[in-house]
Amino acid sequence: MSKGVTPKSEDYARWYTDVITKAEMADYGPVKGTMVIRPYGFSVWDSIKDAFDSRFKETGHVNAYFPLFIPKSFLSKEADHVEGFAKECAVVTHSRLKSAADGGVVVDPESKLEEEVIVRPTSETVIWSMYKKWINSYRDLPLLINQWANVVRWEMRTRLFLRTSEFLWQEGHTAHASEKEAVDETLKILDIYKEVAESVLAIPVLTGLKSEAERFAGAVDTYCIEAMMGDKRALQAGTSHYLGQNFAKAFDVKFQNENNREELVYATSWGVSTRLVGALIMVHGDDKGLRLPPQVAPNQVVIIPIIKTEEDLKTIEDYVIPFTTALKNSGIRFQIDSRLKMSPGFKFNEWEMKGVPIRVEVGPRDMENKTLFCARRDTGEKQPIALDDAPKKIETMLEEIQSNMFNQALQFREKNTFNINDYDAFKTQIASGGFIRCGWDGDPASEAQIKNDTKATIRCILADGKTKNLTCVYSGKPAKHEVIYAKAY
RNA sequence: CGAGGCGUAGCGCAGUUUGGUAGCGCACUGCGUUCGGGACGCAGGGGUCGGAGGUUCAAAUCCUCUCGCCUCGACCA
């Protein structure tokens, strides 16, 4: 293994996989397209998960678990839904293997299943088949269920965290008595997504509606949070769907309202996935490796003793006890890297690769001066701090790093977002990347033509878009929406 | 499925043209010296050269077949 990572500027895709493997976030699984999330990466995912989970619970949602296997027939109940997922489903056709003549194993043809089952690519269908049993009256509504699970989508092209055959996510599935309530729910979740992305992951996101072409298969409206990655491409970081009565119709889920009349249930579904870990890497990482926002960093502080012998280590450990005790009391996650065989320089580089927000060096010089030597991962700034103030300073610094990383990402996005209303200028700009904010006449044909010409798609129809005096960048007709166009992952 | 490329130690590669004891760097193990930005020395361990068949005194190297992977397209987002 070579020392550093491929520079971002040289080959962004290689930089990305280098960072992931060298920071020990993840590794390739034995089956093509699969990924092993290693402990360090999983710890980041755990933090992300906790941030969402607590907010879901605060807003009245409960967790449950639905089966991995779905009857094949379920997928055909909603026409758009099948269209969207049928081509990437893993199908279980047999239940047994048997020994083969060559010493290996083969599928036992006698174990062929009567009814084949699919491995869930998403759970709307199983969940709605159950909701049919559980919902009878308006008193059973709203039903606000979330599940944390794995799903399988048999993609041809995969990339660690961004698109893998199997991934982890949360999927919320709610049922409501009225359209308004369901739409409100859809937007409430969108808000949570934005809040967590920005305040926890330090990733600025745009929110808005998807165009029909980009909409979730089976949804009436798909809302999204959309982020700009370090190569100026867009990544859909989360989606919240208003499903209308589509799934209620498909699974015949009706309730009796207060007037004793039967009505179809209104639905939402929403999800974020381990893809967010990929976003975190691409938004914040640099040529030294990962940069993790303090809120999701497995270690917020790493302490590196500068030592010659095992006795030196003991002395330093004693010296930092007041400091580490204070960190512990304020709930700051830290680690003392006391490995004797590695040189300090090696450790500096390793922890920088792993994105630890603050490195604290402690050596003889510090003990003499009653200081600690402190280095920030986000800015590279280094300074000695007095041992007595250290815990407070560190706490403040972590907050600064968190907001600084958000601001850096925001500035990057702003700098690479362009208001354009001329199609030639559009094409030139798209070729060199970035987000383009422009008018759209609302015609799927103009969207399709732009995609064909440039590979750019509408990332979102801006919720706060202004269409006054705005014309469609393609047709020149009056714009129906203000949208963001970009090339996406 | 189309076009190109690659399979040799955990990883990255050389060796194949012209057949002759399977190598290098990193990683790993042990000992010693180092330690405030990727330390160094010495000594080690690890391979049926993707697989099968053939040619030959002799095959990583030549021939035939086969399997797998990667990149670009197609597909997907």
User: Of the candidates A278, A46, A32, A287, which has an alpha carbon nearest to the alpha carbon of residue A152?
Assistant: A32
Residue matched to tokens 């600690």? A372
Contact by Cβ (8 Å): A405, A340? no
The nucleotide closest to A374 (CA, C1' atoms): B36
Task: Give Cα separations from A488 to A61, A314, A389, A435 (angstroms).
Answer: 31, 52, 46, 10
DSSP A289: B
pLDDT for A335 equals 96
Residues A12-95+107-284: name the CATH superfamily. Answer: Bira Bifunctional Protein; Domain 2 (3.30.930.10)
Rounded Cα distance between A62 and A67, Å, is 17
User: Of the candidates A185, A165, A184, which has an alpha carbon nearest to the alpha carbon of residue A173?
Assistant: A185
> Quick one: CATH architecture of A419-486?
2-Layer Sandwich (3.30)
* Distance, CA of A354 to C1' of B9, in Å: 28
The nucleotide closest to A308 (CA, C1' atoms): B35
Q: Which nucleotides of B are covered by protein (CB under 7 A)?
A: 10-11, 25-27, 34-39, 68-70, 74-77
A200-258 pLDDT, tens digit each? 999 999 999 999 988 998 899 999 999 999 999 999 999 999 999 999 999 999 999 99
The nucleotide closest to A28 (CA, C1' atoms): B69
Rounded Cα distance between A210 and A224, Å, is 7
Name the residue closest to the C1' of B37 by its CA: A345
Collapsing DSSP to helix, strand or coil, A55 comes out as: helix
Contact by Cβ (8 Å): A483, A211? yes
* Distance, CA of A287 to C1' of B38, in Å: 15
Mean pLDDT of chain A: 93
Total Cβ atoms within 10 A of residue A119: 18
pTM score of the predicted model: 0.96
Contact by Cβ (8 Å): A197, A280? no
DSSP A298: S
The nucleotide closest to A342 (CA, C1' atoms): B35
Domain ranges for chain A, please list them: 12-95+107-284, 301-398, 419-486
The nucleotide closest to A377 (CA, C1' atoms): B37
Collapsing DSSP to helix, strand or coil, A316 comes out as: helix
The pLDDT confidence band at residue A32, using thresholds 50, 70 and 90, is confident
Task: Give Cα separations from A91 to A88, A151, A393 (angstroms).
Answer: 9, 13, 55
Label the pairing between strands A417-419 and A435-440. parallel
Structure tokens at A389: 């103030």
Q: Which of A8-22, A330-344, A390-404 has the lowest mean pLDDT?
A: A8-22
* Distance, CA of A101 to C1' of B57, in Å: 37
Contact by Cβ (8 Å): A135, A245? no
Label the pairing between strands A266-273 and A234-244. antiparallel
Rounded Cα distance between A133 and A350, Å, is 54
Contact by Cβ (8 Å): A475, A421? no
More confident of the two residues A336 and A155: A336
The whole-number average pLDDT for the span A36-44 is: 94
CATH of domain A301-398: 3.40.50.800
Collapsing DSSP to helix, strand or coil, A209 comes out as: strand
* Distance, CA of A28 to C1' of B10, in Å: 14
Structure tokens at A482: 């203000």
The nucleotide closest to A372 (CA, C1' atoms): B36
Looking at the predicted structure, is the pLDDT value of residue A159 above 90? Answer: no
Rounded Cα distance between A5 and A290, Å, is 10
DSSP codes of every residue in A405-418: HHHHHHHHHHHTEE
Name the residue closest to the C1' of B34 by its CA: A308
Looking at the predicted structure, is the pLDDT value of residue A285 above 90? Answer: yes
A167-198 pLDDT, tens digit each? 999 999 999 999 999 999 999 999 999 999 99
Task: Say which residues have a Cβ less than 8 Å from residue A171's Cβ, sequence separation at least 6.
Answer: A122, A123, A146, A147, A149, A151, A269, A270, A271
Contact by Cβ (8 Å): A278, A235? yes
Q: Which of A54-58, A354-358, A447-451 has the lowest mean pLDDT?
A: A447-451
The pLDDT confidence band at residue A5, using thresholds 50, 70 and 90, is confident
* Distance, CA of A343 to C1' of B34, in Å: 9
* Distance, CA of A102 to C1' of B55, in Å: 28
* Distance, CA of A86 to C1' of B6, in Å: 33
